[in-house]
A and B are shown apart, each in its own frame.
Chain A
Amino acid sequence: MGKTMERRKFLKTGALVGAGAAGAYGLPLLTSLRASAGNALAPSAKCRWGMVIDLTKCPPNCTACVDACKRENNVGSTGDRLRDIYRIRKVTIESTLAVGVAPKAVPLLCNHCDEPPCALVCPIKATYKREDGIVIVDPHRCMGCRYCVIACPYNARHFNFRENDQRPNPAYPKRQRGVAESCDLCAHLLDQGKQPACVAACEGIQAKALCVGNLNDPASEISALIRNHSVKRLREDLGTEPKVFYIGL
């Protein structure tokens, strides 16, 4: 009889100790899990940069934004069509429908996805999403594996196959051979409260087709544009949640 009591007592204490240990170790784990999930769901409370491109105002043969971007960010041209690097470029989009829709010249840049596939595949987190939603490459860390170039569904990423010797803007670094390149929405200008180079250039030629602003602020110009127009994003079916919106696509 005494023996069974002892065994029952032993099991009881064991269960209690086990539950205590599980609580002690599991609780911080659970709370940290919840905290990280919370961070992932809310990119930033303050600022979330996005862009609206109004194709009805974009002149078809104009390359002001492309040229301004190359000047600002020291993106050189190699003369080799397959090796050329663009942070923003003009592409021609044709309708797959049989209905007669004229092909459109569309400025294409990094879409700064909320779920960026490039950052997902980057093995060393050289590509990452900043807290304000800008997807950016850290060239110090990039090792040139080109996974991001393959992963991007918008072909908005390029690779520096050779070093660029043109440096029109000495205030901004250039890139060495062997790092990936993409639009960072001119984060160095946005952080100083200025407009990105392409937007400034578009305003400079009085077209005003590009607009960059805070998507979280309902009073901003970009939020008003998205509210008042029918906007489309590229390849919304992929679930990448791009933050570049097109009017008149």
Chain B
Amino acid sequence: MKRQRRSLIVVALVLMAAPLLYAVLSFAARPAPRPLWLEPPAPNTSCILPTAVIRYDHMQHLKNLRDQVMREGRREELTGARAQGLTSCRGCHAHRERFCDRCHERASVRLDCFGCHVY
């Protein structure tokens, strides 16, 4: 009688723990998130700035450039082979969906550049 009750308790505990165990196991079995894949730039090209700088400071760079163009009317950096404008990235990174959007979506940063500018 006593043993029966004890086994009943064990079964009940196992049943109660089952959803939790299932969640833990299924999470462990899930494949690890893939590293962020960005489309490689066009071959034989180099960025206007070193990769680490452009990766972390491109927003500041673009804002400075915007103020320079809008406020001072200096547009010399928007033309030529080393053009630095927002849409000049297109020269090496052809698809915005595989370049800008990839990181910004993961970081939940909403871009409103392309409501007006054509990439």
Residues of A within 8 A of B (CB): 128, 130-132, 134, 136, 138-140, 163, 167, 170-171, 173-176, 187-188, 191-192
> A130 vs B116: C-alpha distance in the bound complex, in angstroms?
22
Residue B25 lies at the interface, judged by CB distance under 8 Å to chain A: no
B12-20, B37-45, B69-77, B103-111: which lies at the interface? B69-77
Contact B118–A170 (Cβ < 8 Å): yes
Nearest-neighbour CB distance to chain B for A245, whole angstroms, equals 23
Partner of B112, one of A134, A176, A191: A176
A-B contact pairs, 24 of them (CB 8 A): A128-B71, A130-B71, A130-B72, A130-B73, A131-B73, A132-B73, A134-B73, A136-B70, A138-B70, A138-B71, A139-B116, A170-B118, A173-B116, A173-B117, A175-B116, A176-B112, A176-B115, A176-B116, A187-B73, A188-B75, A191-B73, A191-B74, A191-B75, A192-B75
Contact B73–A140 (Cβ < 8 Å): no
Residue B93 lies at the interface, judged by CB distance under 8 Å to chain A: no
Residues of B within 8 A of A (CB): 66, 70-75, 79, 112, 115-118
Residues of A within 8 A of B112 (CB): 176
Contact A173–B70 (Cβ < 8 Å): no
> A188 vs B74: C-alpha distance in the bound complex, in angstroms?
10
> A191 vs B117: C-alpha distance in the bound complex, in angstroms?
19
Minimum CB distance partner of B79 in chain A: A192
**Secondary structure of the B contact surface, majority rule:** loop
Residues of A within 8 A of B116 (CB): 139, 173-176
Contacts between chains A and B (CB distance < 8 A), count: 33
Nearest-neighbour CB distance to chain A for B108, whole angstroms, equals 21
Q: Which of B74, B79, B118 has the most CB of A within 10 A?
A: B118
New contact pairs (19) apart from A163-B115, A192-B75, CB-CB < 8 Å: A128-B71, A130-B71, A130-B72, A130-B73, A131-B72, A132-B73, A138-B70, A138-B71, A167-B118, A171-B118, A173-B117, A173-B118, A175-B116, A176-B115, A176-B116, A188-B75, A191-B73, A191-B75, A192-B79
Closest 9 CB pairs of A and B: A173-B116, A176-B115, A170-B118, A173-B117, A191-B75, A138-B70, A191-B73, A174-B116, A176-B116
Nearest-neighbour CB distance to chain A for B67, whole angstroms, equals 9
> A167 vs B117: C-alpha distance in the bound complex, in angstroms?
10
> A113 vs B73: C-alpha distance in the bound complex, in angstroms?
18
Nearest-neighbour CB distance to chain A for B113, whole angstroms, equals 9
Nearest-neighbour CB distance to chain B for A83, whole angstroms, equals 19
> A121 vs B15: C-alpha distance in the bound complex, in angstroms?
71
> A171 vs B78: C-alpha distance in the bound complex, in angstroms?
11
> A163 vs B73: C-alpha distance in the bound complex, in angstroms?
26
Nearest-neighbour CB distance to chain A for B84, whole angstroms, equals 16
Residues of A within 8 A of B75 (CB): 188, 191-192
